[in-house]
Amino acid sequence: MKLAVFGAGAVGRSVAELAAEYGHTVTALADSSGAVVDADGIDVESVLARKQSDGAVGDADPETALESEYDVLVEATPTTLGDAQPGFGHAREAFARDRHVVLANKGPVAERYDELRALSRDSEGSLLFEATVGGAIPVLSTIEDVGADNVTAVRGVLNGTANFVLSRMATERLSYEHVLAEAQDLGVAEADPSFDVDGTDAALKCAILANVLFDGGHTLSDADVDGIRDLPGSALELAAEDGWTIRLVGEVARDGVSVGPRLVPENGTLAVSGTRNIVQFETKYAGRLNISGRGAGGPETATAVLADVTRLERES
C-alpha cells in the first residue's frame, strides 16, 4: 500500500522506517512545517536525516501531501483535545478522496468519534486506529476477535509514564517529584508531564474503548478523571504493608469511563511494572482475558499502525 504519513515525531518516523519491511511504500511524509512527496516512494532515510538536521522533512506545502497519490493516510500528528485538529481535518480530507485512514493520533477517535465514523461511512475508505490504545498491544483487534458484544467491561493500566512513576515510587520508596525528574531524564516523561500524570492520556484511551465497545457517544469530557500528581508516597507505603500497591487504572463500562489511582494487589495482574500497559476484558461467557505489552514507543506503536495497514490490504 502507498502511505502518506502525517507527523514526523517518534511514531511517524518509525512508521516511515518500518513500512518497507511490511511491504508498503511511503509516498508522502508531512509535518507541520513542510512535506516531501514522491509517488514512487520517498527516500525515507535521507528525508529523516534532513528532518534531524534542518528541522523540516521537506519544502513542499503540507497540503500537497493530502492531495498526493496514496492508499492510506497515516495520522500521527500530536494528539489534541476538543476539535482534535489538525488530525481530524487530515482524516476528513482523506475520506473525501475515498482513501483509508489509520490513526495513531488519539484526538479524532476520542473527541470526534461519531463525526469520524460518519465520514468513513460516506467514503470508500475505511477507518482503523489500533495504535491509539495500548501502543503495540492489539487491544482493539482483540475486541474484534472476541466480539464487542461479548465484552462487558474493560479495565486497564494504559499510561506507561504514570505507571513508571508509581512503580518506582513503590519499589524504591522515592517521592513523586524525585521519580518524575528521573523519568524526564530517561525520556519516559515529557518536560510537561501533565497529559500523562493527570490521567488525560489514559482517559482518552478509555473514551476510545468506550466508543468501540458501545458504538460511539463518548468524549474526554464525559470521563471522571483523577491523576497521580498529588498522591503522597505514604499512600504507597501504607498499601504495601498489606500487600497492595497503587496503579493509575482506567475503567470502561456501559455507564461511563473513569480513570484514577486505584489499590491493586501487589503481585496481581494489574500491577505491571515500568512502562508496560495491561488491559483486562470481562467477557460474557469466557471470564477475564488479560493482554499486556509495550504501551508506547515509536517502533512499538508503529507496528500497530502497520498491522492496520496490512489488514486494510488483506480486506481490499
Residues contributing to the site for a copy of itself (CB under 8 A): 18, 22, 130, 135-138, 141-142, 145-147, 150, 267, 269, 283, 285-294, 297, 299-300, 302-304, 307, 310
Could you say which of 51, 106, 205, 284 is catalytic?
Answer: 205
Q: Are 152 and 161 in contact (CB under 8 A)?
A: no
**How far apart are CB 242 and a copy of itself at their closest, in Å?**
16
**How far apart are CB 278 and a copy of itself at their closest, in Å?**
8
For residue 277, give the C-alpha cell.
Answer: 500497559
φ, ψ of residue 63 in degrees (nearest 5): -60, -35
**How far apart are CB 287 and a copy of itself at their closest, in Å?**
5
Residue 55 CB coordination number (10 Å): 11
Nearer to a copy of itself, 80 or 310 (CB): 310
Please name the amino acid found at residue 30: A
The full length of the chain comes to 316
**How far apart are CB 60 and a copy of itself at their closest, in Å?**
29
Nearer to a copy of itself, 84 or 306 (CB): 306
The answer to whether the peptide bond before residue 86 is cis (omega within 30 degrees of 0) is yes
Nearer to a copy of itself, 234 or 287 (CB): 287
For residue 176, give the C-alpha cell.
Answer: 513523586
Distance, in Å, from the CA atom of 304 to the CA atom of 135, rounded to the nearest integer, reads: 7
**How far apart are CB 283 and a copy of itself at their closest, in Å?**
7
Distance, in Å, from the CA atom of 256 to the CA atom of 274, rounded to the nearest integer, reads: 28
Q: Are 174 and 164 in contact (CB under 8 A)?
A: no
CA angle 151, 153, 158 (to 5 degrees): 110
Per the annotation, the verdict on 51 as an active-site residue is no
The C-alpha R_g of the chain, in whole angstroms, comes to: 20
Q: Are 14 and 301 in contact (CB under 8 A)?
A: yes
> Which are the catalytic amino acids?
205
